[in-house]
Amino acid sequence: MQQLDMVFGALGDGTRRAILARLAEGETPLAAVADPFDMSLTAVSKHVRTLSEAGLVSVTKRGRTRYCRLEPVAMQQAAEWLNEYRVFWENQLGSLEAYLSEDKT
C-alpha cells in the first residue's frame, strides 16, 4: 500500500501528470522534458525524482544527458486498485437507479 500511496501522491500534482503525458510519447532527455514548463530545470528534476521514487518514471544517464522513460507497471497497479472500486460503485449506482425507477404509487 505504501507504493500505491506514493503513486497517488505523485499523480496529485498537475505538473507531474503533464510530465507523464510527455513521457508517454517515448523516452526523452530531461532538458526536453523541462522545455514546456515555466520553471527551472532543477524544479522539473525534483518532479521527475518524485515520479521516479513512485516507480512511474525511470532515469538513466548516458554521457552527460539524463533520459526519462515512463514505467507503466506502477500506473497499472493503481489502475487495478481503482478498477476494484469502479465495479463497486457501478453496482451501487445500478441499485440506486433501480430503486429510483420503481413505481412508488
Write the burial class of residue 14 (CB in 10 Å: 0-12 exposed, 13-18 middle, 19+ buried): exposed
Would the pLDDT of 102 be above 90? no
The stretch 90-103 carries a mean pLDDT of 76
Query: For domain 2-101, is the CATH number 2.40.30.260?
Result: no
Would the pLDDT of 9 be above 80? yes
User: Which residues have C-beta within 8 Å of that of residue 41, sequence separation ≥ 6?
Assistant: 30, 31, 34
Which sequence spans correspond to the domains of the chain?
Answer: 2-101
pLDDT tens, 14-68?
A: 999 999 999 999 999 999 999 999 999 999 999 999 999 999 999 999 999 999 9
Q: What is the pLDDT of residue 105?
A: 59
Instruction: Identify whether the C-beta of residue 19 lies closer than 8 Å to the C-beta of residue 44.
Output: yes
pLDDT band of 104, cuts 50, 70, 90: low
Amino acid at site 56: L
